[in-house]
Amino acid sequence: MNDTIVKSITRLVIPFVQVYGIFIILNGHVSPGGGFSGGALLGTSLILYTLVFGAIKAKHKFSHKASEIAESGGILIFVTVGLIAIFVGMPFLTNLAAGFPAGSAGAILSAGMIPIIMIGIGIKVASTMITLFHKLIEEVIQ
Amino acid sequence: MQLFNVLLVVFLVVCAIAVERTKDLLSAIIIFSAYSLMMSLLWLILKAPDVALTEAAIGAGVTSLLFFAVISKTKRYEK
């Protein structure tokens, strides 16, 4: 797409979408939202970039290698935090009973491990959305 | 508020029927996107902002984009 207006608006909008996605991920345990919704928003911002600036430039921004690392890293955060509870002697993904600090209700740093898990899910969902779209689009271009 | 709710539900039903009746798949996707947006507003009225957020991002955004990508590889018109 070689339109100046679309390109300028996209450059203007993408940071706001990404900040909103990160906000939703980090506030997942105190307000509506969470890892899945915020990750989907983060993925949508890069899909918008792909649509406007083309798949080759987008591949440069978020390569296959980066998506591999993000996807494996996201699920590894989830599993590692879940396994901490097993080492303490509790079932998988036990939260407060396994010794995670509760914090004060309503604060960002509260609810034990939930914020960490949300960040992991957010990274994984965002990279999955982008990879799905890139995989579908790349055969059309070649 | 009640009238707004009824209006939304009627529009939702019309959209759902129209998606099934259209032969042009590109228009069907856009109608489906509108359906998703109405559904998201309805979730908000039903006091489920969490689901509304996900529906707006996934239903209206990502799903239609994926469908567009699929259409660009296949044919636009239904036989």
Cα of A94 to nearest chain B Cα, Å: 24
Lowest-confidence range among A6-15, A108-117, B18-27?
Answer: A108-117
Q: Count structural domains, chain B.
A: 1
Range of the domain at A20: 4-141
Averaged pLDDT for residues B41-66: 88
Averaged pLDDT for residues A33-52: 87
Interface of A with B in 102-141 (CB under 8 A): 129, 132-133, 136-137, 139-140
User: Both tokens of residue A21?
Assistant: 């996605």
CB contact under 8 A, A37 and B61: no
pLDDT band of A140, cuts 50, 70, 90? low
Q: Count structural domains, chain A.
A: 1
Query: How far apart (Å, rounded) are the C-alpha atoms in residues B65 and B36?
Result: 13
Residue B77 pairs with which residues in a beta bridge?
B24
ipTM: 0.76
Structural domain includes residue B77: no
Q: What is the pLDDT of residues A59-94, one digit of tens each?
A: 888 888 888 898 898 899 889 888 888 888 888 877
Cα of A138 to nearest chain B Cα, Å: 10
Structural domain includes residue B79: no
Structural domain includes residue B29: yes
Range of the domain at B20: 2-71
CB contact under 8 A, A24 and B53: yes
Which residues in A lie closer than 8 A to residue B62 (C-beta atoms)?
Answer: 40, 43-44, 47, 129, 133
CB contact under 8 A, A37 and B50: yes
Buried b (16+ CB within 10 A) or exposed e, B46-59: eeeebbbbbbbbbb
Structural domain includes residue B78: no
Closest by CA to B28, choosing from B13, B12, B43, B17, is B17
∠ Cα A132 A120 B55 (to 5°): 55
Q: What is the pLDDT of residues A101-115, one digit of tens each?
A: 777 777 777 777 888
Question: What pLDDT, on the 0 to 100 scale, is given for residue A90?
Answer: 81
